[in-house]
Amino acid sequence: MREKAKELQRQRMEATKKGGMGGGFNVDPMRAIGSSNAYSGVSVDTPAEPPKPTFSSAPRKPMTSKAMKLGGKSKDVDSFVDQLKSEGEHVSNEAPATRSNLSSGKAIGKAPPSAPTIKMESVHAKIEEKMTVVARRDGGLDNMELSGHLTLRITDEAFGRIKLQLKPATNSMVQTQTHPNIDKELMKRRSQIGLKNPAKPFPLNTDVGVLKWRLQTSDESNIPLSINCWPSDNGQGVCDVNIEYELEQDQLELQDVVITIPIPHGSGSPVVAECDGEYTFEKRGSLLWQLPVIDANNKTGSMEFSCSGTPDDFFPVQVAFFSKKSYSGLQVLDCYEVENEALNVKHSTECILLGDRYEII
């Protein structure tokens, strides 16, 4: 495109020179290029020759370096392309590979699948939990903390006056707290979520927090997933690393588990001897051990690899996962009308547990 612009500019300059040498009339050189001059607005009759192509009616601005700058705004490129097309040039409409695709270093393939969409009824209850775990490499638990909350969303005013029937938390260490407008005694006695004033409806079309809970412990028997990473120096500047996992809470089902082991900078790709699941080495310095599901039927797994470095180089090990089952065991069982618990209200539920920060130091 830059070369084409230069060629067009040279053609204009040559046409200007020829027009200036053409006779005794003092005519603007650009006027000789076409029968209708875009720059002067004056028409010149040339009956001896057929009409020549005309230029754009708008004065053409000088091409600045900004218009030709690589990586500039797309509208500048589009403007230049339109300019070439207006002058009869053929320009391909095929989009080139973007710089981000070329420089990312990743294979360009299909987009990752999106999370399945949950069909939401007029009454929708959502349980969300986040977990933080800091464990030590030689065993023991520095800290484990769980925070959770239950939100309610109602989109039809006909179902504004309802109660939720809950299954209480199965872990006795979970401490719950109701919203000030929720009937605390009803929650204690019957594990039900309802407003203090049953004559009032819940707000419409908004996520209303009705219950929250918390758990904090340093008792390692409560950890959901244990990671044992054991690097051994073979005396030649290379470590043989054995790492294994074990699900400690059989009621959980962890999905899309990624265990990240740091790899020393400049050590190259680790040599993997054995691996349950899949693994990916990132040149930034991480070995990603990927497991689609860890549950009661797939409780344990291991990986073995060799890499140059010292044992301390392979910590901290980090874990990421999500689960559609809560750690607390709290569940939404049913939904009733306030006046008549025999009338069940159609509702939808959602539950997600996230490993917010989970690492072995």
Q: Which residue has the tokens 């989970």?
A: 358
Q: Look at residue 325 and tell me whether its pLDDT is greater than 50.
A: yes
The mean of the pLDDT values for the chain is 80
CATH number for the region 225-323 comes to 2.60.40.1170
Residue ranges per domain, the chain? 2-92, 123-220+327-360, 225-323
Q: Contact at 8 Å (CB) between 148 and 177?
A: no
Alpha helices by DSSP H, listed for the chain, are 2-20, 65-68, 74-86, 99-103, 184-190
Predicted local distance difference test score (pLDDT) of residue 224: 96
Of the candidates 198, 123, 125, the one whose C-alpha atom is nearest the C-alpha of residue 155 is 123
SS3 238: strand
**DSSP class of 344:** B
**Cα angle: 167, vertex 168, 172; to 5 degrees:** 150
Domains 123-220+327-360 and 225-323 share a fold: yes
Lowest mean pLDDT, pick from 38-52, 140-154, 244-258, 272-286:
38-52
Predicted local distance difference test score (pLDDT) of residue 9: 75
Of the candidates 149, 349, 146, 142, the one whose C-alpha atom is nearest the C-alpha of residue 249 is 146
pLDDT in tens, 175-214: 999 999 999 999 999 999 999 999 999 999 999 999 999 9
Terminal C-alpha separation, the chain: 55
Q: How far is it, in rounded angstroms, from Cα 98 to Cα 89?
A: 24
CB atoms within 10 A of CB 340: 8
pLDDT in tens, 48-73: 444 444 443 444 444 333 333 333 44
Predicted local distance difference test score (pLDDT) of residue 116: 52
Q: How far is it, in rounded angstroms, from Cα 313 to Cα 272?
A: 17
Lowest mean pLDDT, pick from 9-13, 25-29, 126-130:
25-29
Predicted local distance difference test score (pLDDT) of residue 82: 56
Q: What share of the chain is helix, strand, coil (3-state, %, to 5)?
A: 15, 40, 45
Query: What is the topology classification, in CATH, of domain 123-220+327-360?
Result: Immunoglobulin-like (2.60.40)
Lowest mean pLDDT, pick from 1-15, 32-46, 129-143, 252-266:
32-46
User: What DSSP line would sit under 17-54, residue for residue?
Assistant: HHHHTS-SS---GGGGG-SB-TTT--B---TTSPPPPP
Of the candidates 361, 350, 358, 332, the one whose C-alpha atom is nearest the C-alpha of residue 115 is 350
Predicted local distance difference test score (pLDDT) of residue 61: 42
Q: Look at residue 124 and tell me whether its pLDDT is greater than 60.
A: yes
Predicted local distance difference test score (pLDDT) of residue 101: 32
CB atoms within 10 A of CB 102: 10
38-47, 108-117, 316-325, 339-348 — most confident range: 316-325
User: What DSSP line would sit under 95-111, residue for residue?
Assistant: PPPPHHHHHS-S---PP
**DSSP class of 357:** E
Lowest mean pLDDT, pick from 23-32, 72-81, 100-109, 213-222:
100-109
As a whole number of angstroms, the longest Cα–Cα distance in the chain is 109
Q: How far is it, in rounded angstroms, from Cα 132 to Cα 142?
A: 11
